[in-house]
Structure 1
Amino acid sequence: MSKKQDNNSTETLVDPRKAYYTDDFPRQRQEAPGVEEKMTPKPDAGERSYRGSGRLRGRKALITGGDSGIGRAVAIAYAREGADVAIGYLPSEQQDADTLRTLLEEEKRRIELLPGDIRDEEVSRESVRRAAEKLGGLDILVLNAGMQQAVKHIEDLTTEQLRRTFETNVYPMFWMVQEALPCLRPGASIITTSSIEAFEPSPILLDYAATKSAIAGFTRALAKQLADKGIRVNSVAPGPVWTALQVTGGQPPEKIPEFGQSTPLGRAGQPAELASVYVFLASEESSFVSAQVIGVTGGRLTY
């Protein structure tokens, strides 16, 4: 029997320890930013399992890092909930973006592709402008793009990597929110992706953990600033989730086989397991939720 639970099962309860892949991951390595299609096993972004119910009907969303991993799962969920979606991604990730576009267009869902490196301020701002233009507005901004490279010792952390990590993970959030605000009406939602690393940092992810702490602070401060505009701001903090980040240097190669097994639930998460939280935070169901960081961590604590 497969180690991966069939999410279409008619059983009432699913054991969370066995809900998704539980075997050791094959040892593997790709150059960053990586292509999800080449991973073994391929991450589960809910392509076959997510079922929408119109919770975001008529909404218009921009998702950074939307081609693969968590961003891909969010794009699939939003589209199936009735939203029009634009995704940002690096040009080198075109293969993953194309497979996502094919999937959603076959389902008669609208998706716009916006390739570009958002470390560049003008690219960040232009991505927002193009998304609003192509979708006819903007209601949801998901700031999810990220870079993660493991380094064992601070002495080996280069200024180039330090700059690149902050320029990818933190700076675009400021530029994109600034550009999006004129489009966002009361009821709009901004959602960031922070991490368990903001609360329980790994010694080999020093720069990454620092950016994720910054994102948590950014989220809470921005939520207070935008409350009087009727715009909610929240964050999702993933734990160890099987994405291309892990096989492109986010984890040392020797740690890949047992990735995620140290969580209380004993396995890594899959991107599909986060999608419903992003849907909740974008929907009217979370109308009294703002300035929160919601952990999806397999049992690790985010406070």
Structure 2
Amino acid sequence: MYPMYPYIGYKTTCEEMPISFPPQHQDRQPGFEYLMVPRPIFDNPHYLGSSKLQGKVAIITGGDSGIGRAVAVAFAKEGADVAIPYLDEHVDAEETRAVVEGYGSRCLLLPGDLRDEAWCHEVVQQTLACFGQLDVLIINQGVQFPQTSILDISRQQLEDTYRTNIYPCFFLTQAALPHLKSGSSIISTTSVTAYAGAPLLVDYSSTKGAIVSFTRSLSLQLVSSGIRVNAVAPGPIWTPLQVSSYTTDYITTLGNDTPMRRAGQPFELAPTYVYLASDDSRYVTGQVLHVNGGTMTET
């Protein structure tokens, strides 16, 4: 009844039938990837690494699942070791570690709350203690709590959304910066909602807009040091964030309103982060790359 997501290599066009997902919802954030049906596709078997990140060490927040997991796996294929700060999704995190180590890279799991400034500093210190260096910081954690009216956004929700989505951008950068060197990269995950808006996600969208401005301003501040700062703006992607945010009915048509008429899969974003972390993008800073199924945005 519900077709599985197109397999890797499947050619989709806007004329084809939209992809549907089975109705499902998880009553917690963060959600669990291992409970999703179908499971998100995080590893493209046709993606062959070419040592673009050989010898580098990356922190990937939220790397236990979703987009972060796909990025961690792609980084491992490119030769990087990864540290993964996450909240408490231990089953997902262990699965990610197994895949990363299966590709020959080291993986440090760091469960804790990134809303806590002290923990953000501890994440950096534990990464340095384990690997001896830090080259790439990927700030990817996030929550969203849809509300039909701004009047329904409580102070607690507002604080949770901002403390999760934007505060760690500052805390982690402040902790990491003394240890980054020329050629290092800082990459944040913003969203198409920062540009197109989203009526159900006023607070979430505003944090993603803040990440865009953070990226642009910080890139100007650090350009003379040779540290590049960029961001990726996904559209609707099949991740635990979706099933823990929206109603069961909403999930069934996730992404059908994009020009490609489908949601993206995490593996479809991972090469973008590899590009921004590698020397291929040495002339790119202060930019946001859009991976959103064809939605037009003003950058």
Partner of 2:267: 272
- The one-letter amino acid of 2:285's match is S
CA distance in 1, matches of 2:67, 2:13: 20
CA distance in 2, matches of 1:155, 1:278: 36
Alpha-carbon spacing, 1:6–1:254, altered in 2? closer, same or farther (3 Å): closer
Partner of 1:40: 37
Alpha-carbon spacing, 1:259–1:207, altered in 2? closer, same or farther (3 Å): same
Matched-pair identity in %: 47
Aligned-pair CA distance for 1:287: 0.4
Aligned-pair CA distance for 1:271: 0.5
Q: In the TM superposition, what are the counterparts of 1:191-270 in structure 2 within 5 Å?
A: 191-249=187-245, 251-270=246-265
Aligned-pair CA distance for 1:5: 4.1
Preserved CA contact (<8 Å) 1:131 1:138: yes
For structure 2, the residue ranges without an aligned partner over 5 or more in a row are: none
CA distance in 1, matches of 2:32, 2:172: 25
Partner of 2:49: 52
Alignment partner of 1:297 out of 287, 292, 295: 292
Preserved CA contact (<8 Å) 1:237 1:302: no
CA distance in 1, matches of 2:297, 2:225: 28
Aligned-pair CA distance for 1:167: 0.1
The answer to whether 1:110 aligns with 2:99 is no
For structure 1, the residue ranges without an aligned partner over 5 or more in a row are: none
Aligned-pair CA distance for 1:106: 2.8
CA distance in 1, matches of 2:154, 2:6: 42
Instruction: Indicate the larger mover: 24-33 or 206-215.
Output: 24-33
- The one-letter amino acid of 2:52's match is R
CA distance in 2, matches of 1:139, 1:46: 23
TM-score if structure 1 supplies the norm length?
0.93
CA distance in 2, matches of 1:207, 1:273: 26
Preserved CA contact (<8 Å) 1:22 1:268: no
TM-score if structure 2 supplies the norm length?
0.94
Q: Is the partner of 1:199 in helix, strand or coil?
A: helix
Partner of 1:94: 90
The answer to whether 1:133 aligns with 2:126 is no
CA distance in 1, matches of 2:204, 2:5: 30
RMSD: 1.6
CA distance in 2, matches of 1:126, 1:43: 30
Alpha-carbon spacing, 1:214–1:59, altered in 2? closer, same or farther (3 Å): same
CA distance in 2, matches of 1:131, 1:49: 30
